């Protein structure tokens, strides 16, 4: 147990530091804080131009969606980075339990997602027609944390596929953009075709965004508890799937000797 | 004649080379399709009257800008990583003539985006593909690509001074989409955005394409695109010279 906790916390911390070894602050600020500002403005202005929904709709949708960015790109970069620096084989040669090994890498990314999301809400409040009362913030923080978790769980699936695929960054890009299309980030869910709504209900973010919008409209956390639990359940399902995929692709990778292929 | 041949051969080589990159092609096609779909749904859900061809062209141009931004922004860095930058600089032709075909090629690859968003829009969103002034449209297309390609030259020659050029590319994608009015009328944006949009080729390129496709006179915008291209070429020439001199002085040509 102690060893697993050590792998979870220290392994995760070292991996996160390594991530920022190639992800310098001069990379972090424009990518994780700068780009989100313009993403929110871009969609809010399209909304104004197309005369669809209010600024609040776009601020909440995009701010919650941005918590996905850290989790999905971060996990892709973690596995892709290990492959690029040729440390993936030594990592997988260790006897460490895979569950804390990879979940530990996910934890700092969840925190990162929360920071990006909070910053996006702040920017939305500062630059657009969006108001938030102090009493709404704790409930919103819970929803953001749960959404960041579920998105990072999806990021774990992407990372697991990175054990098999040579170019995991393409997949990460595709997943982030697909969430933007399906999860009601900028499009009212009820205007999407039925099959897209079905897909959306099985993806992380959808329920988190819906809960966050309800809270911004005055609902309490208990009012949206069903949505929050669903979001959490979806995240747990993706985390479980990721664990199985990591196991499967690790075996595959050993058989095919493909861990060092770049 | 030699110059034209060099540009032609270089452009052909780089278009082929970029076309072989699965990542580049899929990003050029898939990303614009997803953004176009988001835009189609938003405009369909909204109350604004108008043709979806406006949206399709804007979303396609978003793809051309992304392709130019990431392709040209990282062009010199990529040559560095591959270890070919010294050869590119050491060959007898001016470095400008080696890089321009590359930046033009990245903008050309963006045409996949425009084609993809138009076809996607036609197939799934009933976007009308009727072009009001075909001649102007056919002229506007390459002129826009050249405009963006030469803007890419400036990106290529200035981003090299910044170690994390990718981060700058990530940062500049959305603001240029917004400031050049690709999906939003510029009249909705703050007044100070106007002058910024005027010096960016995508503004004139998209206006030319929309005027040619929907209605209006595209020729003044085509002229502005050509004028801006000439300005970008001059700026790019001096920026490249400056970079080359600095890199030689500091012996940083091969540093990655």
Q: How far is A247 from chain B (nearest CA, A)?
A: 27
Token output for B162: 């910044």
Q: What percent of chain A has pLDDT over 90?
A: 44
pLDDT in tens, A152-202: 899 889 988 887 777 788 888 889 999 999 999 999 999 999 999 999 999
- pLDDT for A191: 92
Token output for B17: 């080379």
- pLDDT for B156: 83
- A192 contacts B41? CB cut-off 8 A: yes
Token output for A99: 């569950």
Inter-residue contact A68 to A61 (CB < 8 Å): no
- pLDDT for B207: 92
Residue with tokens 């530091």: A17
Over residues A190-218, mean pLDDT: 94
Residue with tokens 């918590």: A67
Report, as ranges of residue numbers, the positions in chain B whose pLDDT lies below 50.
Answer: none
Tell me how far CA of residue B14 lies from CA of B87, B166, B178, in angstroms.
16, 20, 29
- pLDDT for A253: 76
Inter-residue contact B200 to B148 (CB < 8 Å): no
* Residues contacting B163, CB < 8 A, separation 6+: A24, A26
The 3-state DSSP class for residue B67 equals helix
For residue A15, the tally of other CB atoms under 10 A from its CB is: 22
Inter-residue contact B109 to B15 (CB < 8 Å): yes
State how far the Cα of B34 lies from the Cα of B173, in Å rounded to an integer.
15
- A177 contacts B164? CB cut-off 8 A: no
Over residues A32-48, mean pLDDT: 89
State how far the Cα of B56 lies from the Cα of B25, in Å rounded to an integer.
19
- In 3D space, the residue among B35, B109, B36 whose CA is nearest the CA of residue B72 turns out to be B109
Token output for A28: 């972090």
- pLDDT for A204: 93
* Residues contacting B67, CB < 8 A, separation 6+: B24, B27, B28, B106, B107, B109, B110, B112, B113
pLDDT in tens, A102-142: 777 777 878 888 888 999 999 999 999 998 889 999 999 99
Residues in chain A: 262
For residue B2, the tally of other CB atoms under 10 A from its CB is: 8
Return the percent helix, strand and coil in chain B, to nearest 5: 80, 0, 20
Q: Who among A46, A170, A188 is closest to B27 (CB)? A: A170
pLDDT at A216 over 60: yes
pLDDT in tens, B154-189: 888 877 666 666 777 778 889 999 999 999 989 999
- pLDDT for A259: 67
Least confident of A84-88, A199-203, A227-231, B225-229: A84-88
- Interchain contact B178–A (C-beta under 8 A): yes
Find the chain A residues whose C-beta atoms sit closer than 8 A to any C-beta of B: 24, 26-31, 34-35, 38-39, 41-42, 45-53, 167, 169-170, 173-174, 177-178, 180-181, 186-188, 191-192
* Residues contacting B71, CB < 8 A, separation 6+: B18, B24, B102, B103, B105, B106, B107, B109, B152
- pLDDT for A182: 95
More confident residue, A67 or B199: B199
What is the pLDDT of chain A when averaged over all its residues? Answer: 85
What element of type H or E holds A119? helix A98-127
What is the pLDDT of chain B when averaged over all its residues? Answer: 86
């Amino acid at each position: 147990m102690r060893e697993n906790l050590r792998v979870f916390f220290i392994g995760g911390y070292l991996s996160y530091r390594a991530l920022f070894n190639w992800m310098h602050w001069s990379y972090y600020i424009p990518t994780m804080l700068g780009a989100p500002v313009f993403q929110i403005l871009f969609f809010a202005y399209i909304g104004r131009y197309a005369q669809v929904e209010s600024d609040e709709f776009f601020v909440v949708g995009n701010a919650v969606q941005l918590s996905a960015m850290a989790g999905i790109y971060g996990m892709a970069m973690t596995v892709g980075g290990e492959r690029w620096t040729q440390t993936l084989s030594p990592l997988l040669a260790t006897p460490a339990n895979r569950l804390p090994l990879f979940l530990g890498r996910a934890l700092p990314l969840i925190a990162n997602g929360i920071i990006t999301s909070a910053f996006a809400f702040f920017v939305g409040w500062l630059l657009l027609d969006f108001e938030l009362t102090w009493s709404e913030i704790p409930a919103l923080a819970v929803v953001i944390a749960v959404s960041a978790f579920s998105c990072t769980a999806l990021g774990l699936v992407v990372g697991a596929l990175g054990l098999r695929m040579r170019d995991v960054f393409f997949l990460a890009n595709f997943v982030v953009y697909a969430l933007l299309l399906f999860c009601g980030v900028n499009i009212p869910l009820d205007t999407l075709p039925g099959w897209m709504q079905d897909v959306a209900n099985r993806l992380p973010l959808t329920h988190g965004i819906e809960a966050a919008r309800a809270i911004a409209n005055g609902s309490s956390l208990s009012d949206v508890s069903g949505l929050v639990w669903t979001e959490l359940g979806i995240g747990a399902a993706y985390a479980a799937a990721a664990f199985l995929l990591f196991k499967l692709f690790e075996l595959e990778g050993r058989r095919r000797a493909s861990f060092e292929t770049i | 004649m030699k110059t034209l041949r060099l540009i032609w051969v270089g452009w052909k080589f780089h278009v082929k080379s970029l076309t072989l990159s699965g990542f580049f092609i899929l990003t050029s096609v898939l990303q614009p399709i997803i953004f176009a779909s988001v835009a189609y749904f938003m405009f369909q859900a909204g109350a604004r009257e108008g043709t979806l061809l406006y949206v399709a062209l804007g979303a396609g141009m978003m793809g051309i800008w992304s392709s130019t931004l990431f392709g040209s922004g990282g062009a010199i860095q990529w040559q560095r990583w591959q270890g070919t930058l010294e050869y590119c600089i050491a060959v007898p032709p001016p470095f400008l003539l080696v890089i321009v075909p590359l930046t033009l090629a990245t903008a050309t690859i963006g045409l996949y985006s425009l084609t993809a968003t138009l076809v996607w829009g036609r197939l799934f969103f009933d976007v009308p593909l009727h072009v009001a002034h075909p001649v102007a449209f056919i002229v506007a297309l390459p002129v826009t690509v050249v405009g963006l390609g030469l803007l890419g030259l400036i990106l290529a020659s200035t981003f090299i001074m910044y170690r994390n050029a990718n981060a700058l590319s990530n940062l500049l994608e959305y603001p240029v989409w917004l400031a050049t009015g690709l999906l939003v009328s510029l009249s909705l944006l703050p007044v100070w955005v106007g002058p910024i949009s005027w010096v960016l080729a995508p503004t004139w390129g998209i206006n030319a394409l929309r005027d040619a496709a929907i209605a209006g006179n595209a020729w003044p915008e085509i002229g502005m695109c050509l004028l801006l291209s000439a300005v970008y070429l001059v700026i790019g020439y001096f920026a490249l010279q400056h970079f080359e001199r600095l890199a030689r002085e500091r012996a940083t040509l091969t540093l990655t």
